[in-house]
Amino acid sequence: MNKDTMKEIEISHEYKFKGRIVNMRLDTVKTPEGNVAAREIVEHPGGVGIVALDTDGCVYMEWQYRRPFDDLVYEIPAGKRDKDEEPVVCAKRELEEEIGLLAKEWVYLGVSYASPGFCTEGLHLFLATDLYEGKVNRDQDELLIIEKVPLDTLVDKAMSGEIKDGKTLIGILKTKEYLRRKNL
């Protein structure tokens, strides 16, 4: 079997729930072997994560309560994309809304699939530098604690398991490697 013959063919899909952030559907597919199978899919518009790095080598981080885990989660600034919104436009909006910063330089670090076994969410990651002051404009239900942390400290926290959020892990480690390669 090769990559070209591994795709499934959709037979049908049925929406089980349509919400404000996600839709849930049940797909019936035909596998490459000819079997019929059910696939539960969560549709999500995707989002962005921003590693905002200042001239001192510090990254702006957020502590935010996350209901699914009933815990405070340590994260880079991030947010959900609006329908048909370009990822960089979303990243610029989210950085200003959450942290109150704008950036002159934006580097695209790539996309990460949050949970590709059942969810369509893709997270586009960016490095934002040459930061300057904007205006905070958080959502009504968004309560954040903002910290500035040296990038090397965050790499240590990523490697020790202190950072658990996937987009933050990827963003921090890709930023560190991007900067290493840039200085070669």
* Encoded amino acid at 7, one letter: K
> How many Å apart are CA 79 and CA 95, to the nearest integer?
9
Please state, as a whole number, how many other Cβ atoms lie within 10 Å of the Cβ of residue 3.
6
Compute the C-alpha angle 149/129/124, nearest 5°: 90
Residues 6+ apart with CB under 8 A from 121: 42, 44, 45, 46, 47, 113, 114, 115
Given the residues 142, 147, 162, 177, the one annotated as active site? 142
Task: Give catalytic status of residue 142 as yes or no.
Answer: yes
Crossing angle of the two packed helices 151-160 and 166-182, in degrees rounded to 10: 130
Please state, as a whole number, how many other Cβ atoms lie within 10 Å of the Cβ of residue 182.
8
State the DSSP code for 181: H
> How many Å apart are CA 99 and CA 93, to the nearest integer?
10
Return the residue matching tokens 């490095």: 127
Residues marked active site are found at 142
